[in-house]
């Protein structure tokens, strides 16, 4: 069992795909998780002859593969109630038009499933958005009905999308993340229950978002393992600042005054060795996709170091018990 190590392309969106393929190949990566906002154009993939062949050729020429398509920004626009931030994720011509943004996002997610299938990719990673994230702190008082209605809205919005995913035999891997309908352990459990454990919906396991919230990343992995369709390798460091709270104080990522920051792999508090052991135990053979985010480090240095770190930990499980020889004949 050798899991491929890939790089999420979204944080390298300003680098041309040909140049990025060359770079990640030289570092040692096995592939790319191609982001729809950066290196994989859904419309061109469906409508432009030769577009997918060109991408496949670029990957192949550099010894790379694509194991997942990332549609995080599009998915956010499906389930969120509009605010001006969504205008950065949607086409410029519909900026400021909530209904049009939602309708565009639903259509685009359906087309993403079709494009992924044409690419030969079985997993689309992404976000769902959430109409109730603003209720995370229950004041002014939040009723149970308001929460239930929010989950029901996500069900109604995403069910037709998942129907199309099923048509193309593609899975959707939600990244459990603040600002999504499922952002921690119990909200994830609720989401699966609302969708009656529909197999189309699984997880893009990213431990970094769990650790800073105080959720044990190994317990989460263990309990939801059968729904994990993709794995992000991303680290987070909880800082020793007794003036800071975990809510961030409206300080930008990278500000050392924050209680926590995303950091390059191996520089934080995520138990990657424990994660690899769990993945070995459950025989996960999918990609380990480095999502590099560290405002305090050069990204090429960080992407290189991250590969080296996780490659060292990407070991196979033992085929024998360590004490099997300690017996008498």
Residues 6+ apart with CB under 8 A from 119: 40, 45, 52, 55, 56, 66, 69
Total of domains in the chain = 1
Please report the pLDDT score of residue 2 as a whole number. 79
Q: What is the three-class DSSP state of 9?
A: helix
Is 322 domain-assigned? no
Length of the chain measured in residues:
329
Please report the pLDDT score of residue 100 as a whole number. 98
Is 241 domain-assigned? yes
CATH code at position 32: 3.20.20.150
> What are the tens digits of pLDDT across the range 43-57?
999 999 999 999 999
Please report the pLDDT score of residue 327 as a whole number. 67
Domain hosting 119: range is: 5-313
Please report the pLDDT score of residue 80 as a whole number. 98
Is 324 domain-assigned? no
Task: Give Cα 99 to chain centroid, integer Å.
Answer: 26
- Residue owning tokens 């991408």: 55
Is 236 domain-assigned? yes
Listed residue (233, 239, 191, 186) closest to 212, CA to CA = 239
Is 117 domain-assigned? yes
Is 326 domain-assigned? no
Please report the pLDDT score of residue 317 as a whole number. 87
Please report the pLDDT score of residue 320 as a whole number. 74
Is 329 domain-assigned? no
Q: Cα separations (Å) of 308 from 97, 170, 264, 312, 316?
A: 45, 31, 12, 6, 16
Please report the pLDDT score of residue 328 as a whole number. 60
Q: What are phi and psi of 276, to 5 degrees?
A: -60, -40
Q: What are phi and psi of 34, to 5 degrees?
A: -80, 125
Is 320 domain-assigned? no
pLDDT in tens, the chain (329 residues): 579 999 999 999 999 999 999 999 999 999 999 999 999 999 999 999 999 999 999 999 999 999 999 999 999 999 999 999 999 999 999 999 999 999 999 999 999 999 999 999 999 999 999 999 999 999 999 999 999 999 999 999 999 999 999 999 999 999 999 999 999 999 999 999 999 999 999 999 999 999 999 999 999 999 999 999 999 999 999 999 999 999 999 999 999 999 999 999 999 999 999 999 999 999 999 999 999 999 999 999 999 999 999 999 999 887 777 666 676 66
Please report the pLDDT score of residue 245 as a whole number. 95
> What are the tens digits of pLDDT across the range 269-289?
999 999 999 999 999 999 999
* Pairing between β-strand 31-35 and β-strand 65-70 as defined by DSSP bridges: parallel
For residue 83, the 8-state DSSP code is: -
């Amino acid at each position: 069992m050798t899991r491929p190590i890939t790089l999420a392309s979204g944080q390298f969106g300003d680098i041309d795909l040909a140049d990025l393929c060359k770079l990640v190949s030289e570092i040692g990566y096995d592939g790319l998780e191609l982001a729809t906002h950066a290196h994989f154009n859904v419309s061109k993939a469906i409508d432009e002859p030769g577009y997918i062949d060109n991408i496949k050729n670029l990957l192949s020429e550099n010894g790379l593969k694509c194991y997942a398509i990332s549609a995080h920004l599009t998915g956010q626009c499906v389930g969120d109630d509009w605010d001006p931030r969504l205008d950065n994720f949607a086409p410029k011509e519909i900026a400021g038009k909530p209904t049009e943004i939602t309708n565009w996002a639903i259509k685009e997610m359906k087309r993403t499933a079709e494009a992924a299938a044409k690419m030969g990719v079985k997993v689309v990673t992404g976000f769902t958005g959430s109409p109730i994230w603003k209720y995370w702190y229950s004041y002014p008082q939040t009723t149970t009905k308001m929460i239930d209605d929010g989950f029901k809205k996500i069900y109604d919005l995403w069910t037709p999308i998942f129907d199309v995913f099923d048509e193309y035999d593609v899975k959707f891997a939600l990244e459990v993340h603040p600002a999504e309908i499922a952002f921690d352990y119990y909200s994830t459990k609720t989401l699966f229950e609302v969708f009656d454990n529909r197999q189309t919906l699984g997880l893009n396991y990213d431990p970094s978002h769990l650790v800073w919230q105080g959720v044990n990343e190994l317990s989460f992995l263990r309990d939801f393992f059968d729904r994990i369709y993709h794995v992000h390798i991303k680290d987070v460091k909880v800082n020793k600042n007794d003036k800071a709270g975990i809510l961030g104080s409206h300080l930008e990522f990278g500000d050392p005054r924050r209680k926590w920051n995303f950091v390059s792999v191996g520089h934080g508090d995520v138990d990657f060795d424990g994660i690899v052991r769990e993945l070995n135990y459950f025989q996960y053979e999918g990609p380990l996709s480095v999502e590099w985010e560290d405002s305090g480090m050069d990204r090429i240095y960080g992407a290189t170091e991250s590969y080296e770190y996780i490659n060292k930990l990407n070991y196979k499980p033992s085929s024998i018990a360590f004490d099997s020889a300690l017996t008498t004949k």
